[in-house]
Amino acid sequence: MAVDVIMPKLGESITEATILEWKVDVGSVVSQDETILEISTDKVDSEVPSPSSGKVLEILYKKNDTVPVGEIIARIGEETDTIVSNNKPVEEELKEENEVVESVVSKEKNKANESKNNEFSKSDKFYSPLVRSIAKKENISLEQLNSIKGSGYNGRVNKKDILDYLNSSNISDKPISDKVLTDVYLENKIEPMDHVRKMIAKHMVQSRDTSVHVYSSNEVDMNNIVLFRNKNKENFQIKYNTSLTYTPFILDAVIKAIQEFPLINACLDGDNIKYNQNINMGVAVALPDDNLIVPVIKRSEELNFLGLTRSAYDLAKRARSGQLNPDEAQGSTFTVTNPGVFGSLFGMGIINQPNVAILSVGSIHKRPVVKETEFGDIIVARSMMYLTLAYDHRIIDGAYGTKFLSKIKYFLESFEDDRIKK
């Protein structure tokens, strides 16, 4: 009997996924749990393993097709098999497919627990369970694995890449010859947008056409926070095994401000305003391929400073290495984006739907500032930062948005050392 390969459900709200690449062709012989295709949702990319060993009898959808969750996308069986569905309900097939995916992840976790010194777990790159298994069996080191040029989506190393590496007789040490520069005119390069870029473009246009964007800006004196971080970042890393960046300071101030201005955390539901009871904080992360993703810190109001620091660091790290779960990149009620990390003084963000506001954080620069003292005005050097709030004028007026932004400024400028212990 042929076995159906089902488009898996990668998240609670995920209803469809796009096929990025088939790793097999009709007639290919595959092993159980071997990656047979890569898929993408509007949140994350994922590899789909084969539910059984056998020969690929039929591929029902091609590359770039968007397929509903639960649809049959391929069939696997023996070469002599007649292509027959296993007649199980789609819901049951979907459950089994998800169990296969979860089983692969569970096996990898168990391996990591059995050997804490497993060097592959230290890598920021994503390697499928099959690639890791081959590498371990063939005694390929992490350094060697990282040196393999991947031909998969976003440069991922697949089965063919690692087998080609093993079969190569030697690695050439010959230097690459210098390219001869010629005086020629180059034709314009044209390439299609990848799936993630297309989804970002779609969401940005949707947001522009949905929300009435208005902007308010303010400057913040970050001097106390800069001094505190410079003094404590090394000890913080040693004590908590987490980098101390400026992000948790900003998130902490935003959460406190939202609790006083709950409309900022709301969303529109037809003609009604829905007040979200939890603050699900979206934090925009730039990816190595120059795309963008927004992982979400769920129920962020329940976390203390250390919890925010660890959550933000963990989500950002896994986002950049392609290891986020789809549920971790959806459900935000407010979003923070930080163009300042790339040197921008300030930014003007596009609201992440269905949120009604987004905060853009500028870079921190030391510059002369006038300060009032009991002896008169003086000019001092301070570490200053611009904040820009984009908000939906359909439900948030300028006075409300500006007061909210001023409250963030207040919490940042009145930072006290003992707040990180709370």
Point out the residues that are catalytic: 393, 397
Q: Is 273 helix (H, G, I), strand (E, B) or coil?
A: strand
Mark out the alpha helices in 24-168 (DSSP H runs). 90-114, 129-137, 142-147, 159-167
Residue of 245, 248, 223, 219 lying closest to 232 (CA atoms): 245
Q: Provide the β-strand partners of residue 296.
A: 282
Strands 334-337 and 357-361, by their bridges, are parallel
CB of 165 closer than 8 Å to CB of 50:
no
Largest separation between any pair of C-alpha atoms in the chain: 94
Task: Phi first, then psi: give them for residue 126, nearest 5 degrees.
Answer: -90, 125
- What whole-number distance in Å separates Cα of residue 9 and Cα of residue 408? 39
- What whole-number distance in Å separates Cα of residue 190 and Cα of residue 159? 30
Residue of 102, 154, 90, 84 lying closest to 321 (CA atoms): 154
Task: Phi first, then psi: give them for residue 267, nearest 5 degrees.
Answer: -150, 160
Strands 45-49 and 296-297, by their bridges, are unpaired
**Could you tell me the end-to-end alpha-carbon distance of the chain, in angstroms, rounded to an integer?**
60
Distance of CA 334 to the CA centre of its chain: 16
* DSSP secondary structure, 275-339, as one string: E-SS--EEE-EE-TTS-EE--EETTGGG--HHHHHHHHHHHHHHHHTT---GGGGS--SEEEE-G
Residue of 20, 69, 34 lying closest to 192 (CA atoms): 20
- In this structure, the number of other CB atoms found within 10 A of the CB of residue 117 comes to 7
Strands 72-77 and 54-59, by their bridges, are antiparallel
Cα 194 to Cα 25, 176, 288, 289, 290, distances in angstroms: 22, 30, 14, 10, 11
